[in-house]
Amino acid sequence: MKKIPNINDVAKRAGVAPITVSRVNNSSGYTSEETRQRVETAIEALGYVPNTLARGLRSKRTNTLALVVTDITNPFFTLIARGVEDAASALGFTVIYCNTDESEAKEEKYINILVQKQVDGVLLVPACSNSKSVNFLHSNSIPIVLIDRSIPGYQADLVRCDSENGAYSLIRHLIKLGHDRIAIITGPRGISTSEDRVSGYLRALSDAGLEKLARVYYGTFTQTSGYELTVKALDVIPSPTALFGTNNFISIGILKALRDMDISVPDETAVVGFDDLPTSMVVDPFLTVAAQPAYEMGQKATELLVNRLNNKIPVEYQEIILPTVLIERKSSGPRRVPSQ
Amino acid sequence: MKKIPNINDVAKRAGVAPITVSRVNNSSGYTSEETRQRVETAIEALGYVPNTLARGLRSKRTNTLALVVTDITNPFFTLIARGVEDAASALGFTVIYCNTDESEAKEEKYINILVQKQVDGVLLVPACSNSKSVNFLHSNSIPIVLIDRSIPGYQADLVRCDSENGAYSLIRHLIKLGHDRIAIITGPRGISTSEDRVSGYLRALSDAGLEKLARVYYGTFTQTSGYELTVKALDVIPSPTALFGTNNFISIGILKALRDMDISVPDETAVVGFDDLPTSMVVDPFLTVAAQPAYEMGQKATELLVNRLNNKIPVEYQEIILPTVLIERKSSGPRRVPSQ
DNA sequence: ATGAAAGCGCTAACAT
DNA sequence: ATGTTAGCGCTTTCAT
């Protein structure tokens, strides 16, 4: 196993100083065409690869970003991740991924590691509403862009969808179809997406004079929670004519519960949800959804972060809010259940 | 913005030498309980976080692994990624992810970056059958574990599923149901999984004396390819009684093509596939599949890699081959199409 | 059980 | 257009 060549080996072979090799590598400063050629030949001959640890230690730049999501296994976050990766790669950055599973402790653990690794910036889907992680990054001068969720009372760069309007349009759609007893099954209290979707839901009911019929079920953003809360919601009499799941996993839990209870969708109960599944995964899309442009969110957030750490944008925090797209499908047919 | 404290600041505050702080941080060497306490107090007080770039530069260890897959957006790879992440995290490593999109050029680009980043090891789903990337890592003394696919003629640590037997059992299943004109729609030539599944298919046909009816369609591991080749396969007369898609995307392409051609599954044409979709994404699983334990593959590969780089295992290359699980569902009913 | 000296590989700052 | 010097923050090696 022969020694791995370093910048000095290259310099010696090319008959120049190490700094000249550095300049060639980074296309910085002046180098004559001729010496550049000589250096490149030496690099080629030795199979030299610059050591980014040393570079980062000296230059305070690692060209590494981190993406902290709750669970990469959720197609919504997978797509965000892919958007991040593509944008980062195009800008010369690599990405470290972390899954917090909605756990504050895991989030803190990862954030600590990321500071140790001297990442240039962090893309964060906050697992909780407290700002400890964010503050810690801040105190280490690492810029952050929040994705998907905001942190109450905390000003930060943010890329998210318009959850409130997305929810509003889904409920409007149901109301137009004749539904009135519409239950919402959502995630935890205190998570902005969970709350904003409730707000949009309430506003739509209110606009239709149905505020008295509001039924809100808080839980977690999981299939199990969606399933259990559906059972609970259907236990109330008169039962809801429609259900709204505020993320993809909850919606699937809802559909599974209704199937297990032999309740036909949409004839007996209509269902709408947030987040679409990628077309590559579904043969016949069935669920009416407010789709979020996840890939684009990842891209935009990455570009914002890189602009931020290059000081290419105004010091004020940027908030990029993308619209959701209402996709009407079979799960939300006209109301068939008579009023009681 | 105050200065970020380093090991010297901590040492000064604790009244010890920097090396003692290092020993406390790494629980290496001897330190008296008392000085350890003093050092830890100083660390706490200053909010000191060790700089892993400097550590890595000196110690030649970065505690970073890389996972190179073709597309993290494919649930099979997403699940592998999650398995890798969890195992890596438990072992004290972080993970850099890269998507090659089956492109040899992208693979090489990423591998180069990973060498620059001095990752301790690489988990690789090779995008091609050539061993350039692998050799390059090797020449930089970076250990590799291949996942899912082998590289023909190249000896390496490897974690994969038994594709040949998985395919065999799917085809046996179809034959038992009365099918005989079974077409296989697979990925590229030269990719081991693509080829191994064809081998299992051919062996099953052969064992049943049906080798003359073999129809193999090579393409890519995408939905589009699955769709197009299905159209092609159905154009042949007599048309196949069953179709076998060798990955999840191909199978979905097959089902979409059949739907668009108004061919009912399984009554007119049965369909089986490789890879299962996570239960969290599907309400009513429909497709009969050979499921691969993707999460476990990621875990096992990571553990193998870490053992390898700690020299904890014999020098001989390890090959871990996991079984697939046959899951029978509605897409593979008994043959209804009469022989012609 | 603790420390001093040296150096990992690179680039910022300052010459020339 | 190129080079010299110094040092990023840590750990290895060798002392004591």
User: Tell me: the pLDDT tens digits for A226-244?
Assistant: 999 999 999 999 999 999 9
pLDDT given for residue A31 in this prediction = 87
Distance (Å) from CA A63 to C1' D4?
A: 28
pLDDT for position A338? 67
Interface contact A117-B53, CB threshold 8 A:
yes
A257: closest CA of chain B, how far (Å): 10
On strand C, nucleotides with any atom < 7 Å from a protein CB are 1-5, 7-13
- Residues of chain A contacting B50 with CB distance shorter than 8 Å: 116
The pLDDT value recorded for residue B337 is 64
Longest dimension (CA), chain A: 91
Express each pLDDT in B241-282 by its tens digit: 999 999 999 999 999 999 999 999 999 999 999 999 998 889
How many other CB atoms are there within 10 angstroms of residue B13's CB atom? 18
Residue B334, number of CB atoms within 10 A of its CB: 12
Question: How many CB atoms within 10 Å of residue B184?
Answer: 29
pLDDT for the residue numbered A188: 95
Contact B248, B76 (CB under 8 A): yes
* Residues of B whose CB is below 8 A from A72: 72, 78, 81-82, 85
Query: Between A287 and B333, whose confidence is greater?
Result: A287
Alpha-carbon gap, residue A84 to B98, rounded angstroms: 11
Residue closest to A79 by CA, chosen among A305, A297, A303? A297
Place of tokens 């196949």: B240
CA of A59 to C1' of D3 (A): 20
Burial (0-12, 13-18, 19+ Cβ within 10 Å), A326: middle
pLDDT > 90? residue A85: yes
Nucleotides of D under 7 A from a protein CB: 1-5, 7-13
Asked if residue A13 keeps its beta carbon closer than 7 A to nucleic acid strand D, the reply is no
* Predicted confidence band of residue B150 (pLDDT cuts 50, 70, 90): very high
Task: State the pLDDT at residue A201.
Answer: 98
What chain B residue is nearest to A225 in terms of C-alpha separation?
B280
- What are the angstrom distances between the C-alpha of B9 and each of B12, B14, B23, B43, B151? 5, 9, 15, 9, 50
pLDDT digits (tens, 9 = 90+) for A161-171: 999 999 999 99
Cis peptide before A126 (omega within 30 of 0): no
| CATH architecture, range B163-292 | 3-Layer(aba) Sandwich (3.40)
- Is A239 within 7 A of strand D by CB distance? no
Q: What is the pLDDT of residue B128?
A: 83
Interatomic CA–C1' length for residue B11 and nucleotide C2, angstroms: 12
Residue at token pair 């972060």: A305
Above 60 in pLDDT, residue B339? no
Tell the residue number behind the tokens 């000095």, with chain if given. A8
Look up residue A160 and give its amino acid: R
Contact A275, A301 (CB under 8 A): no
Average pLDDT (A79-94) is 96
- What percentage of chain B carries pLDDT values higher than 90? 86
Q: HSE (CB half, 13 Å, CA atoms) of A325?
A: 7
What is the distance in angstroms between the CA of the first residue and the CA of the last residue of chain B? 81
Among A8-12, A64-68, A116-120, name the one with the lowest average pLDDT: A8-12
Q: Is the pLDDT score of A184 beyond 60?
A: yes
Q: Is pLDDT above 70 for B2?
A: no
**B46 vs B49: CA distance, rounded Å:** 9
The Cα of A71 is separated from the nearest Cα of chain B by a number of Å equal to 8
Query: Is A116 within 7 A of strand D by CB distance?
Result: no
Of B49, B71, B281, which has the smallest distance from its Cβ to A281's Cβ? Answer: B281
State residue A28's pLDDT score. Answer: 85
Chain B residues inside the 8 Å CB shell of A62 = 53
Dist CA A216 CA A185 (whole Å): 6
How many CB atoms are closer than 10 A to CB A213? 16
**What's the pLDDT score for residue A290?**
98
What is the Cα–Cα distance from A220 to A297, expressed in whole angstroms?
A: 23
pLDDT at A337 (0 to 100): 64
- For residue B340, pLDDT beyond 60: no
Q: How many CB pairs under 8 A join A and B?
A: 128
Return residues with beta carbons within 7 A of strand C.
A 4, 6-8, 18-19, 21-22, 25-26, 28, 50-51, 54-55, 57-59; B 15-20, 23, 29-32, 34-35, 54, 57-58
> In a 10 Å sphere around its CB, with 0-12 CB exposed, 13-18 middle and 19+ buried, how is residue A299 labelled?
buried
Closest partner residue to B112 among A49, A112, A223, by Cβ? A49
Q: What is the CATH number of domain A7-57?
A: 1.10.260.40
* CB atoms B252 and A281 under 8 Å: yes
- CA of A39: nucleotide with nearest C1': D2
**B124 CA, C8 C1': separation in Å?**
28
Query: Do B82 and A94 lie within an 8 Å CB cutoff?
Result: no
Q: For chain A, give the mean pLDDT.
A: 94
Q: In the prediction, which pLDDT does A100 show?
A: 96
Cβ–Cβ of A56/B53 closer than 8 Å?
A: yes
CA–CA gap between residue B124 and residue A303 (Å, rounded): 28
Query: What one-letter code names the amino acid at A305?
Result: L
CA angle B154/B248/A247 to nearest 5° reads 125
A54 CA from D1 C1′ (Å): 25
Judge whether residue B6 contacts strand D, using its CB and a 7 Å cut-off: yes
How far apart are alpha carbons B246 and B289 in whole angstroms? 10
Q: What is the pLDDT of residue A1?
A: 55
Q: What is the pLDDT of residue B88?
A: 97
Please check whether strand D approaches the CB of A20 to within 7 Å: yes
The answer to whether the beta carbon of residue B63 comes closer than 7 angstroms to any atom of strand D is: no
CATH superfamily of B64-161+294-323: Response regulator (3.40.50.2300)
- Inter-chain residue contact A78 with B82, CB threshold 8 Å: no
Q: pLDDT of B183-213, one tens digit each?
A: 999 999 999 999 999 999 999 999 999 999 9
Q: Do domains B7-57 and B64-161+294-323 have the same CATH topology?
A: no
The domain limits of chain B are 7-57, 64-161+294-323, 163-292
Q: Do B277 and A280 touch (CB under 8 A)?
A: no
φ, ψ of residue B218 in degrees (nearest 5)? -85, 145
Q: What pTM value is reported for the model?
A: 0.94
Q: A242: which 2 tokens? A: 């429609």
Interface test with B, best of A78, A142, A259 (most B CBs within 10 A): A78
Nearest by Cα to A230 from A189, A265, A192: A265
Q: Residue A311: its pLDDT value, please? A: 85
Secondary structure (3-state) at A243: strand
The per-residue b/e assignment along B127-150, b for 16 or more CB within 10 angstroms, e otherwise, is: bbbbeebbebbeebebbbbbbbbb
Residue B51, CB, strand D, below 7 Å: yes
Choose the mutation target among B59, B78, B227 for the interface with A, i.e. most A CBs under 10 Å: B78
Rounded average pLDDT over A70-86: 96
* Confidence label for B333 from pLDDT (cuts 50, 70 and 90): confident
